[in-house]
Amino acid sequence: MSSPATRPTIGVFDSGFGGLTVLKELVALIPGADYLYFGDTARLPYGSKSVDTVARYAVEATRFLEAQGANLLVIACNTATALALDQITRAAHVPVIGVVEPGAEQASLASKNGRVVVIATEATVSSHAYLKALERRGVVAREKACPLLVPLVEEGWVEHPVTEQVAQIYLQDAFDDGFHSADVLVLGCTHYPLIQPLLRRVAPPTVSIVDSAHSTAHAVAGRVLELYGKGSPERSAPRLQFFATDSVEKFRRLGPSFLGHRVNWVEHVDLKE
């Protein structure tokens, strides 16, 4: 085990901006760490790519973050976690945590009747990663793809009537036909925390909402405690570095709505195929 005085450097990887919601939770929960965030913005969305392509991109990002000094990796991308976690873990030389298992674990603990609805992107739903993870925990799940929600969030329409109407249509369908009794809704996309208040309004009132970004941060905190101990209470504020494969201006413009504060500096990275 590393010395408790050792300061972890946590690498956070996503195909774009959504993983910043995971980073936000991590910084709040583990202020005694430094963070490297890599957004593969030039090659998003991952949802339309093949499994092999997503795995290749994710492994490239993993190697980049390790080269920058990351000693723990968080795959803050539901699609990459769902499609390529095994390949990433094999390629990495440091511990790796994805977003699916922590979200499924929290949902299984929160559900009283073992029936859960998961909303996510098409690619995550097609992988059935949440369905399988919940089945392993004895929970029956229904997955619902909500492809319109990500572009609406990125448009900044987090409290827009159109977004609320779209979410209502998706959730009515998700909780229909035998799933009226489901008592947990899992946000299986890292964009969805931005519209959680809206989802709370349109979801059945008896349903608990599980945010996989929040669940993942708690799983990472547990791993950091195992590896580094509590560390020194006299720690400076976390250092955040941002890397993007596309426009740094767009990253700086969209990033704050996900992260909750300004993104002052972003380094452009060109990962060679």
What residue spans define the domains of the chain? 9-98+215-268, 100-212
Q: Which pLDDT belongs to residue 98?
A: 97
Q: Does domain 9-98+215-268 correspond to CATH entry 3.40.50.1860?
A: yes
E strand or H helix that includes residue 127? helix 122-127
What's the mean pLDDT when you consider all of the chain? Answer: 93
Q: Which pLDDT belongs to residue 231?
A: 57
Given the residues 58, 77, 182, 220, select the one marked as catalytic: 77
Q: Which fold has domain 100-212?
A: Rossmann fold (3.40.50)
146 noted as active-site residue: no
Contact 21/194 with Cβ under 8 angstroms? yes
- Higher-confidence residue of 4 and 82: namely 82
Q: Which pLDDT belongs to residue 273?
A: 55
Contact 188/119 with Cβ under 8 angstroms? yes
Contact 99/77 with Cβ under 8 angstroms? yes
- Cα dihedral across residues 105, 17, 79, 198: positive or negative: positive
| Interval 246-250 mean pLDDT | 93
146-184 pLDDT, tens digit each: 999 999 998 999 999 999 999 999 999 999 988 999 999
pTM above 0.75, yes or no: yes
CA pair distance 35, 9, nearest whole angstrom = 6
Write the DSSP string, 207-229: -EEEEHHHHHHHHHHHHHHHHH-
Q: Which pLDDT belongs to residue 1?
A: 40
CA pair distance 192, 198, nearest whole angstrom = 10
105-133 pLDDT, tens digit each: 999 999 999 999 999 999 899 999 999 99
Residue burial 230-255, b: 16+ Cβ < 10 Å; e: rest:
ebeeeeeebebbbbbbbebebbbebb
Burial of 89 (C-beta count, 10 Å sphere; 0-12/13-18/19+): middle
181-212 pLDDT, tens digit each: 999 999 999 999 999 999 999 999 999 999 99
Q: Which pLDDT belongs to residue 264?
A: 87
Q: Which pLDDT belongs to residue 178?
A: 86
Q: Which pLDDT belongs to residue 120?
A: 95
220-244 pLDDT, tens digit each: 999 999 988 765 445 568 899 999 9
Q: Is the pLDDT assigned to residue 4 strictly greater than 90?
A: no
Q: Which residue in 134, 167, 122, 135 sits closest to 149, CA to CA?
A: 167
- Higher-confidence residue of 68 and 2: namely 68
Given the residues 70, 125, 189, 203, select the one marked as catalytic: 189
- Side-chain half-sphere CA neighbours of 59 within 13 A: 15
What residue has token string 């300004």? 262
| Interval 58-68 mean pLDDT | 96
Q: Which pLDDT belongs to residue 228?
A: 84
Question: Tokens at residue 99, please?
Answer: 């977003």
Q: Which pLDDT belongs to residue 2?
A: 40
